[in-house]
């Protein structure tokens, strides 16, 4: 498989997650998921977040990266996006980007 989905999720921390932010915070998490079908990718992202103590509320963006179709000018060898996608393809597990949050009071 040469495909990885980038899924931006809107999530919420569950009790016991160890999340340091406010209890009612909306958390945006980048998920990189090695799957060929979007439905499977969404399920795997939700499961991976759940194992970390987070509930996925929504997927706000989904983009498919297929190394066979990549434009080397846009994503040259060694670029951040390419490094993450190649790493995910090697180990076959979901990987998270930064967890960004804000209080619902903001």
Rounded Cα distance, 91 and 102, in Å: 31
Residue 65 predicted with pLDDT over 90: no
pTM of the model: 0.85
The residues near 62 (Cβ < 8 Å, ≥ 6 apart) are 5, 6, 7, 8, 38, 41, 42
Q: What is the pLDDT of residues 21-53, one digit of tens each?
A: 888 899 999 999 999 999 999 999 999 999 999
Total tally of structural domains belonging to the chain: 1
Name the band, by pLDDT with cuts 50, 70 and 90, for residue 104: low
- Per the prediction, the chain carries an average pLDDT of 88
Rounded Cα distance, 51 and 49, in Å: 5
For the domain that residue 45 is a member of, what is the CATH number?
Answer: 3.10.510
Range of the domain at 74: 3-102
What is the reported pLDDT for 106? 44
């Amino acid at each position: 498989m040469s495909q990885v989905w980038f899924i931006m999720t809107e999530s919420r921390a569950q009790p016991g997650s160890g999340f340091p932010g406010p209890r009612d915070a909306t958390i945006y998490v980048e998920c990189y998921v090695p799957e060929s079908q979007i439905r499977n990718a969404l399920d795997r992202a939700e499961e991976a977040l759940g194992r970390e103590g987070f509930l996925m509320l929504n997927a706000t963006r989904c983009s498919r990266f297929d190394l066979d179709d990549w434009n080397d000018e846009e994503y040259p060898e060694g670029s951040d996006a390419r490094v993450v996608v190649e790493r995910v393809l090697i180990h076959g597990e979901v990987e998270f980007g930064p967890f960004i949050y804000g209080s619902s009071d903001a």
